[in-house]
Amino acid sequence: MTASSPMPPPGAVPAGSAPAPGATAPLAGEAAMPGSTSGPLLRVEDLKVYFPIREGLIRERHVGDVRAVDGISFEMRRGETLGLVGESGCGKSTTGRAIVRLYEPTAGRIVFDGVDTMTLDRAGMKGMRRRMQMVFQDPYASLDPRMTAGGIVSEPMDIHGVGSRADRQDRVRELLATVGLNPDYAERYPHEFSGGQRQRIGVARALALEPDLIVADEPISALDVSIQAQIINLLEKLQERLGLTYLFIAHDLSVVRHISDRIAVMYLGRIVELASSRLLNREPLHPYTVALLSAVPIPDPVVEARRRRIILTGDVPSPVNPPSGCRFHTRCWLRDKLGNPQECVTVDPVPREVLPGHEVACHFAEKVIESPERAQAVGVPVPTTASVGGPVVPPTHPQDAPPIA
Stretch that binds ligand SF4, among 24-32, 119-127, 299-307, 330-338 (CB under 6 A): 330-338
Cβ-based nearer residue to ligand SF4, 114 or 287: 287
Closest distance of CB 310 from ligand ATP, Å = 20
Kindly report the number of other CB atoms within 10 A of residue 329's CB atom: 22
- β-pair partners for 214: 133, 246
If binding is defined by CB under 6 A, does position 94 make contact with ligand ATP? yes
Q: Residue 382 carries which DSSP code? A: P
Alpha carbon of residue 45 to chain centroid? 15
Binding test (CB under 6 A) with ligand ATP, winner from 89, 108, 180, 398 = 89
- 344 forms part of the interface with ligand SF4 (CB under 6 A): yes
Closer to ligand SF4 by Cβ: residue 67 or 205: 67
Smallest CA-to-CA distance from 104 within 23, 156, 64, 48 is with 48
- Taking the complex as a whole, the smallest distance from the CB of residue 97 to ligand ATP amounts, in Å, to 8
Residue 234 CB, shortest distance to ligand ATP, in Å, is 22
Tell me the C-alpha distance between 391 and 318, whole Å: 35
Interface with ligand ATP (CB under 6 A), residue total 15
Residue of 214, 332, 369, 375 that binds ligand SF4 (CB under 6 A)? 332
Gap between the Cα atoms of 259 and 277, Å rounded: 9
Binding of Mg ion by 94 (CB under 5 A): no
By CB under 6 A, which span of 29-37, 88-96, 255-263, 280-288 interacts with ligand ATP?
Answer: 88-96
Contact call for residue 90 and ligand ATP (CB under 6 A): yes
101 is a contact residue toward ligand ATP (CB under 6 A): no
Q: If binding is defined by CB under 5 A, does position 93 make contact with Mg ion?
A: yes
End-to-end CA distance of the chain: 45
Q: Which of residues 284-323 bind ligand SF4 (CB under 6 A)?
A: 287
Which has the closest alpha carbon to 151: 171, 134, 127?
171
Q: Is 81 in the site for Mg ion (CB under 5 A)?
A: no
105 part of the interface to ligand ATP, by CB under 6 A: no
322 forms part of the interface with ligand ATP (CB under 6 A): no
Q: Is 335 in the site for ligand SF4 (CB under 6 A)?
A: yes
Contact flag: residue 338 with ligand ATP (CB under 6 A): no
205 binds ligand ATP (CB under 6 A): no
Q: Does 328 bind ligand SF4 (CB under 6 A)?
A: yes
Q: Which of 286, 374, 367 is nearest to 329 (CA)?
A: 286
Bridge partners of 67? 50
- Grouping H, G, I as helix, E, B as strand and the rest as coil, residue 214 is strand
DSSP state of 243: T
The DSSP symbol for 306 reads: T
Window contacting ligand ATP (CB under 6 A); options: 90-98, 150-158, 170-178, 197-205? 90-98
**3-class secondary structure, 299:** coil
Task: Find the part of the chain contacting ligand SF4 (CB under 6 A) among 14-22, 157-165, 316-324, 328-336.
Answer: 328-336
What torsion, rounded to 10 degrees, do the Cα atoms 87, 135, 21, 6 define?
-50
Three-state SS at 98: helix
Task: Give the footprint of ligand SF4 on residues 351-370 (CB under 6 A).
Answer: 362-364
Distance between CA atoms of residues 303 and 394, nearest Å: 13
Instruction: Please tell me the distance from the alpha carbon of residue 334 to that of residue 324, in angstroms, as a whole number.
Output: 17
**Per rule CB under 6 A, is residue 88 in the interface with ligand ATP?**
yes
Comparison of 193 and 328: residue with beta carbon closer to ligand ATP: 328
In whole angstroms, the minimum distance from the beta carbon of 209 to ligand SF4 comes to 41
Distance in Å, CB of 218 to Mg ion, minimum: 6
Name the nearest CA neighbour of 131 among 31, 244, 259: 244
Q: Which of 17, 77, 20 is nearest to 276 (CA)?
A: 77
- Residue 341, C-beta contacts closer than 8 angstroms, at least 6 positions apart: 335, 363, 364
3 contact choice in Mg ion, ligand ATP, ligand SF4, none (CB below 5 to 8 Å, kind-dependent): ligand ATP
Q: Pick between residue 205 and residue 329 the one whose CB is nearest to ligand SF4.
A: 329
Q: What is the DSSP annotation of 5-60?
A: --PPPTTPPPTT--SS--BPPP-TTS-SSTT-SSS-SEEEEEEEEEEEEEE-SSS-
Q: Is 251 in the site for ligand ATP (CB under 6 A)?
A: yes
Residues that bind ligand SF4 (CB under 6 A): 287, 326, 328-329, 332, 334-335, 344, 349, 362-364
Residues that bind ligand ATP (CB under 6 A): 3, 5, 51, 66, 68, 86, 88-94, 251, 319
